[in-house]
Each structure stands twice: as C-alpha cells, then as structure tokens.
C-alpha cells in the first residue's frame, strides 16, 4: 500500500460523493450537483468516473476499466493502474469477475449481475445542452418535465436523414420521469441500460452525478412511426465470429482492406478461448494475435 | 358572456420608475385589442405582464381556462402558466429571431409546440407543419430549410404558423409588422386579419403603427408614461381623439 489515503480521495470528499450517489439513486436520472475535485488527470479523461469509482471502491473489490470496450487502451490502463497504486485493489479484465467496472462509451456485452457496479465517464451530462444553451432554462425544463425539445432534435434527424441518425448518446427517459444522457454509448447499448447492476454516472468537469438503480425502466425516445432501433455494423466479428456484439471497424491497409471485431475485448477473447472463430481469426487461442 | 381575459389594476415598477400602472380592461372572445403609444410608454411591459413573461407588482390577469373558468394567471403555478403559454396562448415577437429556433428547420419550428404537448407521430406532425406553412404562404418545399435562409417577412410568417399550430385562443403580438417594408407589411396584415377572423382568435396587438390597429383592432387603448390615457372603439378613438396626446399621435401620421 502507498502513502495515499485509500483510493486517493480523502474520506470527507468520498462521503460527499456518496451522498450525491445516494441522492442520484433515489431520483433515477436526476443530475445531482457535487463538488468535483481536481484529479491528477485532465478533464475529459474520466475525472468524474474516477471520483465515483474512488467513492464506491472497498478493499475487497475487484476493479475493471474499459475504454470503448477495450481493457488495453491508454485511458483504461492508466486509470486501472491509478487505483492499483492508490487503493491497492485487485484488478481484472474479465467482466464476470469484476465487482466495479469503470467504463468509457460502452456497456460490456456480458450481462451484469446484482453485485456489480458500472461507473460511466460522462463528458456532457445535460441531454438538452445542444438544444438549449442556458443551464437555468434546462434545469427548469427538467423540473417541469418539458421535454418537447428533445423530440425536435429527433424530428430534425428524420427530416434531414430519413431516419433517426443519432447513433450515440441517444436520449432516454428513466422511470417515466427524467430524460437522461446515457453518456456517449452507442445506441446499440441502450437496451442494456435496464440491467441488474447499479449504474452510476460521473461528470467531473460539469460537476454532476446521476444514477440508474437496478431493474429501472429506461425507454429510448422515439416516434410512433419511427421507433427506436439499436444498430451495429451488419457483420460478424472477424476474430470470434460473434453476431450479437458491437463491432469496431479497422482499416488494415491502404488498399481498403478492413476487418470488423468486437469492441468488447474481454467478450471477444473469452469467445476465442472457448473455441469460437471468425473469418480472419486463428482457431487456437494461444495463436491468436 | 365571460370575458376571455380580464385585466385588473396591473402595475409594474422598475425601481422608482413606472413601467405601467393601473391598467384594467376586459377582452371578449373574438375581439382584437390594440395598444398604441410612443416608445417607453409601457405598452411592451404591459404585454409581457399579461403574457406571464414579467411578474406584475400589483393587479390580476384572469384568463378563462378551458376547464376551470376564470383563473388568475399571476398567482397560478409556473407549470400551469407555461402549459397555458404553449397551448391556449401564443406570443408573436417583433423580431422573428426571438420567437424562432434559428438552427432548427421550418418544419421543426412549427412542430415544436405539437411535440411539447406530446405529439409523437412524425408523419402527423409533418403533415400539420406543411398545412400551416401553406396557410402562411410558405411553400411546402421550404419545410426543411432553416429560418436563417428565409427573408424577414417569411420569418415573421413562420413565427405566426409556429404559434398558431396548437389552436390557441389568445394571441399576444408585439409589433408584428415592425421592421418589414410596407408591401410585406400589407400582406402580413392581410394574412393576420384572415387568420383572426377564420379561427375566431382574440388578440392583443402592441404597436406604434396606427394603420395596423386601424386594420386589425376592434378596440384601442392609448398609453403614455405607463398610464392608459384614452380607450374606446378604434375608429372612434382615431377619428375623434379626445386626449391631447392622442390628438398629437393621430395628427403625426404622415399622409401620403
């Protein structure tokens, strides 16, 4: 263990954040202001998520961090090491073994259990922000449940593109009350927002925390004649052959060669290890690139 | 007959200065009331107090709601007042930019009020938007253009369509023809007069243009320094002004 207080933040700060989290859980989808601290990383790198994780971590927890579904990107690795160093918690890359998962822009493919917490990093918590620049006005709209403007955005999508073109950060209504920005997850993940695990959202720069308790009703906004549709690349994973996971597209060479692979690296790796194989994958797990 | 709007002793102070004071009148369904006066006479303050944009310091503004009859909109809760202002009321700003969302298409602008009262069928919303654009003489192929691509007169007509789409019963207008050239003004007035007659709207029009009230208003109030100095039937006030200021106002109109 290091000279840091457990999980970097001091105990009073963690209590303050826990109060915000509890209030958020009590009012699903409501953005609770909190006194966001300076963290040893720039805004936009997950300062909100890190503070929420710090407040919920216990020494017995097993921690996992993903960035766009991957465990091995810079952001994920540095946050994971940060808590390894400051909290001394065990870490893992396996979704099923983790008790706290901090994520940026994805929900893991494997369904979460009741004993798991998913912490989101949120850049802009206000779903109405780009439609109404005034915070005073958006707060009033939330408190009076005036959400017509959100549909104006979807209307504009259909009139310009023939379909709802919003592909990520797709607005949802939580438990029939608050309209919430689910952070920039692909809309493919929206149906997974109704889950058994606890979902906490932290926005460090914007100083907001909000939450979705387990088994909460989460509805993606849409029109009667243009219903919500989760979308993904129409392809199977080239490594593990999965057809039900969200895919990244990779350009392989200058000749236009490309491949699709699961964005959730743990899901893909687990499947490969179990013997599944896609079009460009190597059949044996130990030979996999 | 119950008045649609009953204004009683409205007063609004800006510190020690008078915005408007002691204004009372009744407005009946289908009636158009004009408010004229020079700049700074308190007519916009009065309009904003009635429309709920400003909190008056004294007085009552009672509106004949659909369900509960006459209710004081000054003391009713904010959600109720905001609900009124997007269903039964309409507010046409002098500058179309204040009343439109400039970065949203014409169709979206017209549809916003429908979506605000829970219309959730894209096809229906669009059909209604096209219908209303037609009524204000904007061709249907401009539905996906943004108001920034519209001329001043078109923006003003779009603002009117956006306001009337939910079938309001009372329209507040603040200098609806200000800043438009005369031929465009004439067409807009023609359009407004048609819509007011056709839909049986009641309206309160604030303007300093006497020709506009002559054309549109049944009754007229003349304001000066925050006080109503003369009121009556439009033709009566304009043809036989009693108060010295009204006489000055009427005689100041340029004759062509």
ipTM of the complex: 0.85
Sort strands A100-104 and A62-67 into parallel, antiparallel or unpaired. Answer: parallel
**For residue B82, what are the contacts with CB-CB under 8 A and spacing of at least 6?**
A144, A146, B52
Give A 220-249 residues with CB within 8 A of chain B: 223-226
What pLDDT shows up at residue A283? Answer: 61
Chain A 69-128, residues with CB within 8 Å of chain B CB atoms: none
Ramachandran angles phi, psi of B35, nearest 5°? -125, 120
What digits encode the pLDDT tens for the residues A238-253?
A: 999 999 999 999 999 9
CATH code for residues A11-220: 3.40.50.11310
B-proximal residues of A, 142-161, CB under 8 Å: 144, 146, 148-149, 151-152, 155-156, 158-160
- For residue A117, the number of C-alpha atoms closer than 13 Å in the C-beta half-sphere is 21
How confident is the model over B68-107, as pLDDT tens digits?
889 999 999 988 999 899 899 999 999 999 999 998 999 9
DSSP A200-260: EEEETTTTEEEEE-TT--EEE---SSS-------SS--TTT--SSS-EEEEE-STT--EEE
Q: According to the model, what pLDDT value does residue A2 have?
A: 55
> Token pair of A231, please?
């979308």
Q: How far is CA A196 from CA A111, A150, A192, A255, in A?
A: 8, 28, 10, 45
> Could you say which of A262, A277, A278, A281 is catalytic?
A262
pLDDT digits (tens, 9 = 90+) for A52-74: 999 999 999 999 999 999 999 99
CA pair distance A82, A74, nearest whole angstrom: 12
- Residue B231: the pLDDT is 94
Q: How far apart are CA A36 and CA A207, in angstroms?
A: 5
pLDDT at residue A289 is higher than 70: no
Please state, in angstroms and rounded to a whole number, the distance separating the CA atoms of residues B198 and B18: 38
Give the mutation candidate from A129, A141, A145, A151 for the B interface (greatest B CB count, under 10 A). A151
pLDDT of residue A255: 92
Across chain B, mean pLDDT equals: 91
> What is the token pair recorded at B149?
């691509």
pLDDT in tens, B107-162: 999 999 999 988 999 999 999 999 999 989 899 999 999 999 999 889 999 999 99
Contact A225 B122 (CB under 8 A): yes
- Alpha-carbon distance A239 to A254, whole Å? 21
Residue of B nearest to A159 (CA): B144
- Among A164-168, A189-193, A274-278, name the most confident range: A189-193
Of A195, A193, A286, A279, the C-alpha closest to A240 is: A279
Please indicate whether, in this complex, the C-beta atoms of B122 and A144 are within 8 angstroms of each other.
no
Of residues A144, A160, A225, nearest to B123 (C-beta): A225
List, by residue range, all CATH 3.40.50.11310 domains of chain A: 11-220
* pLDDT on residue B256: 65
- Residues B152-194 have pLDDT tens digits of 889 999 999 999 998 899 999 998 888 788 888 888 888 888 8
% pLDDT > 70, chain B: 100
Find chain A residues with C-beta within 8 A of B143's C-beta.
Answer: 159
- The answer to whether the Cβ–Cβ distance between B125 and A225 falls below 8 Å is no
Both tokens assigned to A70: 């991957």
C-alpha B176/C-alpha B206 separation (Å) is: 8
Query: B35 - beta bridge partners?
Result: B206, B221
Q: Which of A144, A152, A224 sits opposite B112 (nearest CB)?
A: A152
CA A117 to CA A108: how far, in whole Å? 12
């Amino acid at each position: 263990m290091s000279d840091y207080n457990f999980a970097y933040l001091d105990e009073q700060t963690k209590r303050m954040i826990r109060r915000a989290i509890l209030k958020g859980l009590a009012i699903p989808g409501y953005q609770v202001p909190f006194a966001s601290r300076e963290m040893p990383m720039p805004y936009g790198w997950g300062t909100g998520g890190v503070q929420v994780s710090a407040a919920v971590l216990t020494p017995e927890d097993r921690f996992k961090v993903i960035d766009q579904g991957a465990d091995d990107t810079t952001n994920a690795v540095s946050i994971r090491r940060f808590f390894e160093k400051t909290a001394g918690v065990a870490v893992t890359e396996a979704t099923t073994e983790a008790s706290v998962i901090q994520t940026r822009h994805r929900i893991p493919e494997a369904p979460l259990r009741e004993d798991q917490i998913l912490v989101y990093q949120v850049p802009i918590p206000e779903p109405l922000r780009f439609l109404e620049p005034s915070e005073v006005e958006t707060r009033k709209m939330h408190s009076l449940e005036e959400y017509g403007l959100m549909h104006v955005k979807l209307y504009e999508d259909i009139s310009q593109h023939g379909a709802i073109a919003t592909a990520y950060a797709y607005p949802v209504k939580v438990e029939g009350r608050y309209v919430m920005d689910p952070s920039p997850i692909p809309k493919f993940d929206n149906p997974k927002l109704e889950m058994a695990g606890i979902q906490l959202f932290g926005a460090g720069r914007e100083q907001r925390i909000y939450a979705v308790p387990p088994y909460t009703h989460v509805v993606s906004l849409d029109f009667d004649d243009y219903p919500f549709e989760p979308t993904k690349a129409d392809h199977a994973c080239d490594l593990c052959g999965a057809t039900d996971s969200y895919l990244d597209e990779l350009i392989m060479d200058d000749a236009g060669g490309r491949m699709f692979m699961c964005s959730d690296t743990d899901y893909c790796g687990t499947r490969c290890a179990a013997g599944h194989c896609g079009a460009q994958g190597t059949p044996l797990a130990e030979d996999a690139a | 007959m119950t008045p649609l709007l009953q204004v009683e002793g409205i007063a609004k102070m800006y510190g020690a200065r008078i915005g408007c004071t002691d204004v009372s009148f009744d407005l009946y369904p289908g009636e158009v009331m004009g408010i004229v006066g020079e700049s700074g006479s308190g007519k916009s303050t009065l309009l904003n107090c009635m429309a709920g944009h400003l909190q008056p310091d004294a007085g009552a503004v009672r509106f004949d709601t659909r369900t509960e009859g006459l209710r004081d909109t000054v003391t009713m809760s904010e959600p109720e007042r905001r609900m009124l202002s997007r269903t039964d009321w309409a507010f046409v700003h002098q500058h179309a930019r204040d009343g439109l969302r400039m970065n949203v298409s014409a169709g979206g602008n017209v549809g916003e009020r429908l979506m605000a009262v829970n219309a959730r069928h894209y096809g229906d919303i669009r059909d209604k938007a096209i219908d209303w654009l037609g009524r204000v003489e904007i061709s249907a192929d401009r539905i996906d253009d943004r108001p920034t691509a519209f001329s001043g007169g078109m923006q003003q007509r779009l603002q009117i369509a956006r306001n009337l789409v939910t079938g309001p019963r009372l329209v507040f207008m603040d200098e609806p023809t200000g800043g438009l050239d005369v031929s465009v003004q004439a067409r807009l007035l023609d359009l407004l007069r048609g819509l007011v007659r056709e839909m049986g709207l009641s309206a309160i029009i604030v303007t300093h243009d006497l020709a506009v009230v002559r054309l549109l208003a049944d009754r007229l109030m003349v304001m000066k320094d925050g006080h109503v100095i003369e009121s009556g039937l439009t033709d009566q006030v304009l043809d036989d002004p009693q108060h010295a200021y009204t006489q000055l106002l009427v005689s100041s109109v340029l004759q062509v």
